[in-house]
Each structure stands twice: as C-alpha cells, then as structure tokens.
Amino acid sequence: MPQTHYKISEARKNFAEVLERANQGEEIIIMRGNEIYARVGPADRSGKRPFGLLAQRGLPDDLFDEPDAEQAAIDAGDWSDDIGMFQGRPADSGKRP
C-alpha cells in the first residue's frame, strides 16, 4: 500500500485531498515533528460496520434475535428442573404472566 506523509498543518489545509487519497487505497501518515501522530487509510469495504468497541469480541450472529423464553427463564433463574415449571406454570403453556 503506498504511503504519503503530511505534517499536521498540511493535512489540516488539505483535508479533502487526504481523505480522497485514503479512499483510493493510499495510507496517509500524519507527522508531528519527527513522530508519527496518526494514520489514515481506506475504509473496510466489506459493507458491515464493526459493532463499536465490541467489534473484536466475537459477538454471536443471533445477538439481536428474538430471545427463547425458556432459555431466558433458565438464565434468569426462573426455571425449576425438579417440577418442570417455567415462571410458576408448566413449560409448555407458552403464555407469559
């Protein structure tokens, strides 16, 4: 990947150019004196936006699917294996109180 170096003041003045070059696949290095201050590069073209700070956590694909009522009761501690009851009624009744 080609690289271009800019001083902070140059990058500020030519911000649209910096973004366009990055969008074309170039890595832009922003320098503060002799130190690398920032890197700007092309966006991920996969089409999916990472899930914020949790992007690297490996979240399950079904995270936002409709929850399974029986599993939710088990997770909440409302299930009793001894009598097969879910929130005070038989597990197959299907209605919530």
Each residue's pLDDT tens digit, 28-40: 999 999 999 999 9
pLDDT at 95: 52
Between these two residues, 57 and 88, which has the higher pLDDT value? Answer: 57
User: Residue for token digits 């699917």?
Assistant: 65
> What would the mean pLDDT of 75-90 be, rounded to a whole number?
60
- At 48 the pLDDT is 63
User: By C-alpha distance, which of 87, 84, 49, 18 is closest to 9?
Assistant: 18
DSSP secondary structure letters along 18-51: HHHHHHTT-EEEEEETTEEEEEE-PPPTTSPPP-
Residue 10 pLDDT:
94
Total-model pTM: 0.46
pLDDT at 64: 73
Q: How many CB atoms lie within 10 A of CB 86?
A: 19
* H or E element in which residue 85 lies: strand 85-86
Amino acid sitting at position 33: G
- On average, the pLDDT of the chain sits at 76
Q: How confident is the model at residue 76 (pLDDT cuts 50, 70, 90)?
A: confident
